[in-house]
Structure 1
Amino acid sequence: MIEINDTVFNEAYFREAAGRIGDAAQLGARAGDRFAVCFSEAQDWLAFFFAARAAGASILPLPPSTPYAAARRQAENANCNWLFYNRLEGEPIVEERNSQSGQLLQMSSGTTGEPKCIARPWSDIEDEIDTYVSFFTEPQDMTPLVACPTTHSYGLICGILMALKRGQTPKILDTGNPKFLLRKLRETERPYLISSPAILHTLARLMPAGEQIHATMTSGTLLPEPWFRTIRAKSKHMFQQYGCSEAGCIAINADVHAANEVGRVLPRFSLRNPGTIDEPKEIAVERHGISIETRDLGFRRDDGILVFLSRLDDVINVSGLNVYPKEVEDVVMSMPGIGDAVVFRKLDTFTGERVALLFSAERTIDRAELRQWCAERLAAHHVPSEVMQVERIPRQPNGKISRRDVAARHGAGEFGAVRTEAA
């Protein structure tokens, strides 16, 4: 049974809908095919998902807001045979058949490069679910509220499928309306809110003094320190998970005390060559002899907690000195009035690379004042040399920021005239 907003869809509904979809899409005869699926209603996409998984077919879920042209392009990039776009009549895409068994297909976020198709067999998804549920037992007596896209693995696997495995009824909040989300939180017993950093931060700021969310879960991108403090103060329990498209969930923290504490590695993985606080290294895990490299820089503490520092591609090298963007962003966002920020690299003739900053605020911020704020709290090579205020920071639908995309758009002059100040 699954509840979507205020409507309950029971097992009989999904059984009937999955059977109808399976017949219409001829899943039995096309079990080896790849299906790209984009439906505006969550119950329709989920029924297709359950039908495809039962038939052993491969499925690429696309967000409901995806325009047709983009949906077709992603279907082609993922080598899908069919595109089902808001109707049960499939449109042929490619004729080449896939020899692989059924898989969950996902397009990577593209935060550090071009998006690519990641394929994970259903057996690996099932193993992730089994390990996750047995390892992370804290939410067992809580009511899962899934306020994030169910077409993304975070909402689908860690929200819906984990809840069903625990015998719970997941409640999908298929809207970004803060008032609706707050109402559902208040009327739910022991709510366990699975959502993005941006939504958690918004709800925490709107919640009256003395009121708390029973439990929150964040994933996908590290919380800026000011956001973390706000959300942590409004959460009785706060969880965080960490992973990547190729591996699924890698680590879980069941009691978060700092934003960069991503948790303990699930027993289905072994951490390969873990770094130390003095010598951080790329986070890489192994499973069944296969190594998965995350392109994330971090280390494992003596107590077993995995600590995330930065994306390797995001580290800025200023005259041979490393700058981790999050360190600068946390300082910038601690300045009164500033709500969001992103730090990215710019090439420089003298230093090789330099620190550039884009920020949003509730009022106009004097750039000299901001740079002075940073200079008093950061080493000189961390202080942004290029500063620009914008109405809002561009984020992807999953809440992540692509520094690569921001840098490209900034270089193209999208954010207005560049104002540079010597660091």
Structure 2
Amino acid sequence: MLYIEETLYTEQMLTDHPVCRLSWLTHPGTTVVAVCTKDTAAWIAFCLLMKRTQGTVVPLHPDLPEAGARDMAERAGCDFLIYGDFQQPVRLTQAKPRPGGLIQFSSGTTGEAKVIHRTWLSIELEVTAYNQCFPLPHATGTIVACPTSHSFGLICGVMATLYRGAVPVILEHTSPRHVLRVCRAHPDAILYAGPGIVYLLSQFKQQLFAVMISGMTLPNSWFEAIQEVTDYLLQQYGCSETGCIALHPNPTTAQAIGYPLPHLQTEAGTINQPAELLVESDGTWTGTKDLVGASENGELFFFSRLDEMINVSGLSVYPADVEDVLLRRADVNEAVVFKKSDRLQGERVCVQIVSSATEETLRSFCHAHLAPHQCPTDWTFVTEIKKLPNGKVSRIRLGVTS
């Protein structure tokens, strides 16, 4: 069973949901359906139906406009698009037969989002391995304060919780005060949420039982603020192609992303010489495009996206190192560091920043805390840093458009 906000849904209620008796879904096992809806109960019931029948489903963010949802559904090769109303699907070009599973899109932070198909079997292997490494009691429920159209919320937040016999609580409203009220109502549950939301929650100084963060490397100031109000802080790391790769039961820094799950093989660099993390699943090796170093005991540390690292005259600059310094200041609200080509140095360090401080003040601060090659040379002051629909920032796009 599970909750959606305060409404309880039993397994039988989800199985008997009207979306499980749609007249147009005559052969679910051979049908590919994209779903873009704000009706969370209908979406979860439909997703579980497609999993039972070995059909293929494409979850789309519920805030997508219809034209954007249709474009993504067509790119994924869907038979149907559900846009809000399950009773009136949009018929698309008939899809090619494929094994049943989940089709998702990569984050798009390093270019155009890729279409990624994962079988239900691969997801079951991930969930089994994930729960083997889950460090809290298996009866621990989950508060899912992130989109269930994304694998963090759907697979790790909902499916893994149901698999281990615990109860997920799926939130449709994620204002900080509402999330905190739900946490008080479920004091023994672990909160699954994006780093931005959890950081906002930390500012209310309400003690939280347990938090799982994922999706981006936190600035150290954010990590420390979250750690201060959390009894159990966990972190997980993954990529769209293979799902969750590593889980950390007790990270001591924001860069500590965990230990590899047992169903995967990984190859990484060292702490002193990080390299692209490679992951083997089902006999196929996948490059993550992340610079990762492994300690002697197998703990993985994230340094940078491979294509976001900045090479200044042969010296490596990791954007997070520069952002961490800037975000120490109370007058800096946001900062994103990225690169541009430079005729003399190869690449130069650029920053887009939301701050009330002057450029001169911030330049002096950086020179006091960073090596010369790490200090930004290009400064752009904005009122808001534009983000992708998933809440992430594309440093690659900033380098092109700024």
Q: Which residue of 2 aligns with 1:11?
A: 11
Amino acid of the structure 2 residue aligned with 1:257? T
Indicate how the Cα distance of structure 1 residues 401 and 50 shifts in structure 2: closer, same or farther if over 3 A, else same: same
Contact 1:191/1:213 (<8 A) preserved: no
User: What displacement does 1:28 show?
Assistant: 4.4
1:239 is aligned to 2:238: no
Question: 1:318 aligned to 299, 312, 319, which one?
Answer: 312
Q: Which residue of 1 aligns with 2:375?
A: 383
TM-score (norm 2): 0.96
Partners of 1:128 and 1:355 lie apart in 2 by 38
1:407 is aligned to 2:402: no
Within 5 A, what are the aligned runs for 1:9-408?
9-17=9-17, 20-24=18-22, 26-87=24-85, 88-95=87-94, 97-207=95-205, 211-272=206-267, 274-361=268-355, 364-408=356-400
Q: Which residue of 2 aligns with 1:419?
A: none
Contact 1:139/1:192 (<8 A) preserved: no
Q: Percent identity?
A: 38
User: What displacement does 1:122 show?
Assistant: 0.4
Structure 1 residues 159-190: Cα deviation after superposition (integer angstroms, max 9, x where no partner): 00111011111011211211111111122222
Partners of 1:158 and 1:225 lie apart in 2 by 24
Q: SS of the counterpart of 2:369?
A: coil
Contact 2:20/2:45 (<8 A) preserved: no
Contact 1:394/1:406 (<8 A) preserved: no
User: What displacement does 1:317 show?
Assistant: 1.1
Q: SS of the counterpart of 2:251?
A: coil
User: What displacement does 1:396 show?
Assistant: 2.5
Q: SS of the counterpart of 2:222?
A: helix
Partners of 1:350 and 1:408 lie apart in 2 by 19
User: What displacement does 1:347 show?
Assistant: 1.7
Contact 2:28/2:50 (<8 A) preserved: no
Q: SS of the counterpart of 1:313?
A: coil
User: What displacement does 1:335 show?
Assistant: 1.7
Contact 1:25/1:90 (<8 A) preserved: no
Amino acid of the structure 1 residue aligned with 2:333? G
Amino acid of the structure 1 residue aligned with 2:352? L
Q: SS of the counterpart of 1:142?
A: coil
Amino acid of the structure 1 residue aligned with 2:145? A
TM-score (norm 1): 0.92
Structure 1 residues 21-54: Cα deviation after superposition (integer angstroms, max 9, x where no partner): 2431544424222111111111111111111111
Q: SS of the counterpart of 1:226?
A: helix
Partners of 1:112 and 1:259 lie apart in 2 by 21
User: What displacement does 1:338 show?
Assistant: 1.2
Count of aligned pairs between the two proteins: 401
Contact 2:19/2:42 (<8 A) preserved: no
Amino acid of the structure 2 residue aligned with 1:213? L
The 10-residue stretch of structure 1 (284-293 or 256-265) with the greater mean CA deviation from structure 2: 284-293
Amino acid of the structure 2 residue aligned with 1:10? T
Gap runs ≥5 in structure 1: 411-423
Gap runs ≥5 in structure 2: none
Contact 1:356/1:385 (<8 A) preserved: yes
Partners of 1:137 and 1:201 lie apart in 2 by 22
Amino acid of the structure 1 residue aligned with 2:398? V
Amino acid of the structure 2 residue aligned with 1:242? Y
